[in-house]
Chain A
Amino acid sequence: MTSVAPVAAAPGGSTRKSGAAGRPSAAAWLVAVPFLAFVGTFLVYPTVLVLVGAFQDSAGGFTFDNLSTLFTGVVFDAFVRSIELSALTALIGAIFGALLTWAIAVGNPDGMLRRVVVAASGVLAQFGGVPLAFAFLATVGFEGLVTKFLRDNVGIDLFAGSAWLFELPGLTLVYTFFQIPLMVIVFLPALDGLRPQWREANASLGGTSWTYWRHVGGPILTPPFLGALLLLFANAFSAYATAAALVSQGSPIVPLQIRGFLTGEVVLGQENLGKALGLGMVIVVSIAMGVNVLLQRRVAKWVR
């Protein structure tokens, strides 16, 4: 495994002092080998396989064909839809998530309400997946609670137009259920960083609630808000489980397209197109995360 190479090569060149322990001996490097070997095998190797495979034809030769296919036909449409879905749910999630975060941040920091909201947010944001899809079938599916209530008591048929729940509008609705909670988790530290003294200073100088948010709270919270927005975007863009459980026919978004390639709907000569899609996803996510890192560096200087 090539990824372990740095460990074997490094002992001679380590001249940096490392505290009281002195210069690490060759044996000292051995301790890190199991971790590096494992991560090299199960993380770096599969990643490289995808990135390299994206540039290979079915015979293993170098090609740009896979990548150029990303900009044509159904694949391109899927990328556009994925980006639209992610951007829209990131925006909705960020706005409502920020409101919810504010509502719990002004309350008791050790209170039960905050504890419950934070724990529930953690569940939905990170571990929702398949259960979330079923939560939706139970609520607004063909036989869901809300669907039945509206049909029997109000006379509205939720599915009069189309099977929207299993298409893009449905995904948008379901995605808000992990996007809003993720916003709470990401944004809460920023709101907690607002010091009460700033509000008092504003008030003692004759400022109103409006001047506080306009000149103090708003400017301070803008970078973390934008950062959270980018994180939410990357999160929705990467999400697979909920969409896979909900949409079994067709592949409107990129992760579901990749499922198609993995489960055998592969056209001859396009074996590596799935990897090109993977590369495309990594690039989009990396851009969002990269901009986020730059933003957070700026924030680090402010909120201390």
Chain B
Amino acid sequence: MGSLVKQRVLRTIVLLVLGVYFILPLIAMAEFSTRGKGGSRSLESWTSIVDDEGLMEALVNSLLLSVTSAVLMLVLLVPTMAWIRLRLPQLQRLVEFLCLLPLAIPAIVLVVGMAPLYAWVNYFLGDSPLTLTFAYTILVLPFAYRAIDAGLAAIDLKTLAEAARSLGASWFTVLWKVVVPNIRVALLGASLLSVALVLGEFTIASLLNFDTLQVQVNLLGKRNAGVSIAVSLLSLLFAFVLLFALSYVGQRRRQTVVEE
């Protein structure tokens, strides 16, 4: 068939052209970050990543933030969302609206309102970068909400909870031993997304003057582009590995559903 051949040719052209378009910057980053003196190759930019104390400190901040934000997000969302499905359907629309609201308010606008708020936060809790946990939990809400909501929709929450309750389980036991294990794949997905988002966040951290990975990378770029490009390449690859792993998490859920 002529049309099948045409389709295959067109597909190859699209994949080739866009493939080159997207891979070229990656190659350029690898090339740029391995430039040495006088046209030679050198790994100096890469080795100096570890030597740069400011950068390492910022990386630790970002890693800690990715954990604290994911934990706060889970602690706030999971009990509330499970409870809403079980006992408080009246709140369903309000909570969904609030969780998706950050999509309509650009981070650059949110930070305008957060600046005065953070003056208070830093007055009461000190000016540790970890206070960014609050802002990041908000940014993560839309992604986390969708993942957890899909997880809860896939199980028969009411029946499971009633069964546990009739056997004498407390509500806390229901949450911890029934709900959480049953939606663990969704929780993992929500957490991975929030980790990736926090590690890449720049807007709020830079405008509230906190030292995170991306803020340092940007700062460093002004005096040593090689190192910044090396770190940028690393963080893109790391986020890719996270999301690539996520695609298998989703698949395993599909398969277990089929088995059941």
A and B held together in a complex: yes
**Which A residues fall within an 8 A CB radius of B?**
6, 10, 14, 16, 18-21, 24, 28-29, 31-32, 34-36, 38-39, 41-50, 53, 96, 99-100, 102-103, 106-107, 110, 113, 115-116, 118-120, 122-124, 126-139, 141, 143-146, 177, 180, 208-209, 237-238, 240-241, 244-245, 248, 255, 258-259, 261-263, 274-275, 278, 281-282, 285-286, 289
Which of B46-54, B98-106, B147-155, B177-185 is the contact stretch? Answer: B98-106
Residues in B whose Cβ lies below 8 Å from that of A99:
14, 18
Partner of B218, one of A208, A245, A274: A245
Chain A min CB distance to B159 (Å)? 9
A47 to B95, CA, bound (A): 16
Complex contact A255–B206 (CB within 8 A): no
Residues in B whose Cβ lies below 8 Å from that of A41:
117, 134
Residues in B whose Cβ lies below 8 Å from that of A146:
24, 28
A16 to B109, CA, bound (A): 37
A144 with B76, Cβ < 8 A, contacts A134-B232, A209-B3, A289-B103 known = no
A134 with B229, Cβ < 8 A, contacts A19-B158, A50-B109, A110-B251 known = yes
18 A-B contacts (beta carbon < 8 Å): A14-B90, A34-B80, A42-B134, A103-B15, A123-B196, A131-B232, A131-B236, A134-B229, A135-B26, A135-B28, A137-B221, A139-B28, A139-B29, A144-B32, A209-B6, A241-B203, A261-B112, A282-B104
A248 to B222, CA, bound (A): 10
Chain B min CB distance to A174 (Å)? 10
B101: nearest chain-A partner, CB-CB: A43
Q: Does B199 sit at the interface, judged by CB under 8 A?
A: yes
Partner of A18, one of B6, B26, B88, B94: B88
Chain A min CB distance to B123 (Å)? 15
Q: Does B223 sit at the interface, judged by CB under 8 A?
A: no
Chain A min CB distance to B252 (Å)? 12
Q: Does B130 sit at the interface, judged by CB under 8 A?
A: no
Chain B min CB distance to A143 (Å)? 8
**Which B residues fall within an 8 A CB radius of A?**
3, 6-7, 11, 14-15, 18, 22, 24-29, 31-33, 76-77, 79-80, 83-84, 86-91, 94-95, 98-99, 101-117, 134-135, 137-138, 141, 158, 162, 196-197, 199-203, 206-207, 214, 217-218, 221-222, 225, 228-229, 231-233, 235-236, 239-240, 243-244, 246-247, 251
B143: nearest chain-A partner, CB-CB: A126
Residues in A whose Cβ lies below 8 Å from that of B109:
50, 258, 278, 281-282
Residues in B whose Cβ lies below 8 Å from that of A110:
251
A97 to B224, CA, bound (A): 34
**For chain B, what secondary structure do more than half of its interface residues adopt (helix, strand, loop), or is it mixed?**
helix
Complex contact A145–B28 (CB within 8 A): yes
**For chain A, what secondary structure do more than half of its interface residues adopt (helix, strand, loop), or is it mixed?**
helix
A123 with B239, Cβ < 8 A, contacts A39-B138, A46-B114, A209-B3 known = yes
A259 with B207, Cβ < 8 A, contacts A110-B251, A130-B232 known = yes
Complex contact A119–B243 (CB within 8 A): yes
A102 to B11, CA, bound (A): 8
Q: Which of B7, B214, B236: most chain A CB closer than 10 A?
A: B236
Complex contact B106–A238 (CB within 8 A): yes
Complex contact A286–B104 (CB within 8 A): yes
B77: nearest chain-A partner, CB-CB: A35
Residues in A whose Cβ lies below 8 Å from that of B106:
237-238, 240, 255, 281-282, 285
Chain B min CB distance to A214 (Å)? 14
Partner of A49, one of B91, B116, B203: B116
Complex contact A46–B232 (CB within 8 A): no
A217 to B140, CA, bound (A): 35
Complex contact A50–B113 (CB within 8 A): yes
Residues in A whose Cβ lies below 8 Å from that of B225:
134, 137-138, 141, 143
A4 to B131, CA, bound (A): 22
Partner of B84, one of A14, A32, A120, A258: A32
A35 with B18, Cβ < 8 A, contacts A122-B243, A134-B29 known = no
Chain A min CB distance to B147 (Å)? 13
Residues in B whose Cβ lies below 8 Å from that of A103:
11, 14-15, 18
A262 to B117, CA, bound (A): 14
Residues in A whose Cβ lies below 8 Å from that of B206:
244
Given contacts A110-B251, A119-B247, A285-B104, 8 further A-B contacts (CB under 8 A): A32-B88, A47-B113, A50-B112, A115-B244, A131-B200, A135-B26, A241-B203, A258-B109
